[in-house]
């Protein structure tokens, strides 16, 4: 793709929550500080919420990677589970054998016995649930009952919930108020401002191996903010497509026009221009702006620049 062109070793803007690219946005660092403080104090429920694409899964992965030996993690990435299935997943994560268990009461007893065993080793179990807004109401109640397991002085299991704002709506229901009262620490993730976006892009390019010059100029950041509202996932998507366009034109810097073309090819982008799109597409084939890069792979550099200028209607 464009790795050699920009002198990088790996794609800098993939959507996989890769902790190698963790930048340390103020909002992300504050969330991790809250999580560490809450876990160290032994609190029962901790909640981190944020809009789609603000980095919840990345923070979740980073927390899992950084837990000390004093914690035993259990990770549930897809919590759309019945109460029975949720108990089984938790048991499996903690290596609890349920092969001879016959009913729910035995499930709970087996898990409790294992939790006590871990506590006697001076360790704490942390159940981390991503996409927690997907938990069915009855499973949330089952989760609350599981956290009732405790000694005279310690909770046997702490729970960290990562979720979209819909999680707040869900746990505000009257019949789930007992769980809401048990959430002692919470944090809401924020989006990036212009300066943070610029530093974020620079950091990811450097981490990918880029060494010389600024690929994303300050002049492109205003457009990126307009189309993404500072949402990291959308920034990644549009930045990746903009790099493809810059590569296709054989230039070393991303321009505002590249960002605009990339945004108009991105379904979730905000404030996309509706006028002039016909000038950016091949009239006969209706190929998308990013699709031009694929076609460009069949051209030499100079031939492709001429081809792109005819299709877009302006010289690169």
Tens digits of per-residue pLDDT, 211-220?
A: 888 899 888 9
Instruction: Tell me the average pLDDT across 173-182.
Output: 91
Q: Is the pLDDT of residue 310 over 80?
A: no
Instruction: Tell me the average pLDDT across 195-222.
Output: 93
CA atoms of 171 and 164, how far apart (whole Å): 12
Do 149 and 247 fall within a single domain? no
Do 183 and 196 fall within a single domain? no
Residue 110 has a pLDDT of: 85
Do 273 and 221 fall within a single domain? yes
Q: Which of 188, 217, 248 finishes a domain?
A: 188
CA atoms of 35 and 37, how far apart (whole Å): 5
Do 162 and 40 fall within a single domain? yes
| Cα angle, residue 118 at apex, residues 115 and 120 outer, rounded to 5° | 110
Structural domain harbouring 276: 3-13+192-312
Do 230 and 280 fall within a single domain? yes
Do 126 and 33 fall within a single domain? yes
Q: List residues bridging with 76 in a β-sheet.
A: 129
Instruction: Tell me the average pLDDT across 81-106.
Output: 85
Q: Which of 160, 188, 216 finishes a domain?
A: 188
Residue 217 has a pLDDT of: 87
Q: List residues bridging with 129 in a β-sheet.
A: 76, 161
pTM equals 0.84
Question: Is 291 a member of any domain?
Answer: yes
- What residue has token string 């993939």? 14
Do 179 and 109 fall within a single domain? yes
Instruction: Provide the token pair at 143.
Output: 């989760």
Instruction: Tell me the average pLDDT across 187-215.
Output: 95
The total domain count for the chain is 2
Do 180 and 221 fall within a single domain? no
Residue 291 has a pLDDT of: 56
- What residue has token string 């949402």? 231
Q: Is the pLDDT of residue 309 over 90?
A: no
Q: List residues bridging with 73 in a β-sheet.
A: 126
> Beta-carbon neighbour count of residue 288 at 10 Å?
17
Instruction: Tell me the average pLDDT across 250-255.
Output: 94
Do 215 and 84 fall within a single domain? no
CA atoms of 113 and 99, how far apart (whole Å): 15
* Of residues 114, 134, 148, the one with CA closest to residue 45: 148
Question: Is 21 a member of any domain?
Answer: no
Do 44 and 143 fall within a single domain? yes
Residue 43 has a pLDDT of: 79
Instruction: Tell me the average pLDDT across 108-129.
Output: 90
Do 152 and 222 fall within a single domain? no
Q: Which of 188, 206, 225 finishes a domain?
A: 188
CA atoms of 2 and 135, how far apart (whole Å): 40
Helix (H) or strand (E) holding 185: strand 183-188
Tell me the pLDDT tens digit for each residue of 51-89.
999 999 999 999 999 999 999 999 999 999 999 899 889
Tell me the pLDDT tens digit for each residue of 280-308.
433 323 335 455 554 454 444 444 444 44
- Provide the CATH number for the domain around residue 134: 3.40.50.300
> Which DSSP string corresponds to 98-134?
-TT--SHHHHHHHHHHHHHHHHHTT-EEEEEESSGGG
């Amino acid at each position: 793709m464009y790795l050699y062109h920009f002198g990088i070793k790996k794609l800098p803007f993939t959507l996989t929550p890769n902790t190698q690219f963790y930048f340390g946005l103020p909002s992300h660092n504050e969330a991790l500080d809250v999580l560490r403080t809450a876990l160290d104090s032994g609190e029962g429920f901790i909640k981190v919420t944020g809009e789609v694409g603000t980095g919840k899964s990345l923070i979740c992965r980073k927390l899992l990677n950084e837990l000390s030996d004093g914690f035993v993690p259990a990770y549930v990435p897809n919590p759309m589970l019945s109460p029975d299935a949720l108990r089984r997943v938790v048991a499996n994560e903690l290596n609890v054998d349920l092969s001879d268990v016959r009913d729910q009461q035995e499930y709970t007893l087996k898990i409790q016995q294992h939790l006590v065993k871990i506590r006697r080793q001076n360790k704490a179990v942390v159940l981390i649930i991503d996409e927690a807004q997907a938990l069915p109401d009855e499973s949330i109640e089952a989760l609350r009952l599981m956290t009732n397991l405790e000694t005279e002085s310690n909770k046997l299991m702490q729970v960290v919930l990562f979720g979209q704002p819909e999680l707040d709506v869900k746990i505000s229901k009257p019949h789930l108020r007992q769980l809401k009262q048990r959430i002692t620490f919470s944090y809401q993730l924020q989006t990036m401002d212009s300066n943070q976006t610029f530093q974020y892009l620079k950091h990811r390019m450097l981490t990918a191996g880029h060494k010389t010059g600024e690929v994303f100029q300050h002049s492109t950041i205003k457009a990126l903010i307009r189309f993404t509202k500072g949402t990291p996932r959308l920034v990644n998507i549009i930045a990746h497509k903009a790099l493809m366009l810059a590569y296709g034109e054989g230039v070393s810097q991303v321009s505002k026009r590249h960002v605009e073309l990339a945004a108009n090819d991105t379904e979730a982008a905000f404030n996309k221009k509706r006028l002039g799109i016909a000038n950016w597409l091949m009239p006969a084939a209706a190929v998308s702006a990013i699709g031009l890069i694929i076609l460009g792979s069949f051209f030499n550099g100079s031939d492709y620049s001429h081809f792109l200028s005819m299709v877009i209607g302006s010289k690169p």
